[in-house]
């Protein structure tokens, strides 16, 4: 790049600034070229990955159609066990809102895991006492 001449700047300083400006412009062009090459490389990698995925999906579809591979069945999810009827009735009697009901159900399950009898649990729930676990 050619700078306009400035009468109060020495020729030597002017040439040094011009050289530095040329070096900076060349560096900028090199960095821009590297950036564009990196973008092109990333696009090519992405295209390669998409092509590999498509080939794999096609091969998998062919295997399923030919009966060489079956899609695995998901394991059955068992519904949670119900609380004993006596405990559930006691909770229905006391719980007026869903958070209270959820708390009492958790408490009842903890007590059941500690081998408490349903009668004992129902009695404690109706009495309003929380048993330390």
Q: Domain spans of the chain?
A: 1-75, 85-127
CB 90 within 8 A of CB 125: yes
Q: What is the pLDDT of residues 39-65, one digit of tens each?
A: 999 999 999 999 999 999 998 888 888
Q: What is the pTM assigned to this prediction?
A: 0.39
For residue 103, count other CB atoms closer than 10 A to its CB.
14
Q: What is the pLDDT of residues 74-102, one digit of tens each?
A: 888 777 788 999 999 999 998 888 998 99
Q: How far apart are CA 58 and CA 100, in angstroms?
A: 53
CA 112 to chain centre: 36
SS3 130: coil
Is residue 3 over pLDDT 70? no
CB 87 within 8 A of CB 125: yes
């Amino acid at each position: 790049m050619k700078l306009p001449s400035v009468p109060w700047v020495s020729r030597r300083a002017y040439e040094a600034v011009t050289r530095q400006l040329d070096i900076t412009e060349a560096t900028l062009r090199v960095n821009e070229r590297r950036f564009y090459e990196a973008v092109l490389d990333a696009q090519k990698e992405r295209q390669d990955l998409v092509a590999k995925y498509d080939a794999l999906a096609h091969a998998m579809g062919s295997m399923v159609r030919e009966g060489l591979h079956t899609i695995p069945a998901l394991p059955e999810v068992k519904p949670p066990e119900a609380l004993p009827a006596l405990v559930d009735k006691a909770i229905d009697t006391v719980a007026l809102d869903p958070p209270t009901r959820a708390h009492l159900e958790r408490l009842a399950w903890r007590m059941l895991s500690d081998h408490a009898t349903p009668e004992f649990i129902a009695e404690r729930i109706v009495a309003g006492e929380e048993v330390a676990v």
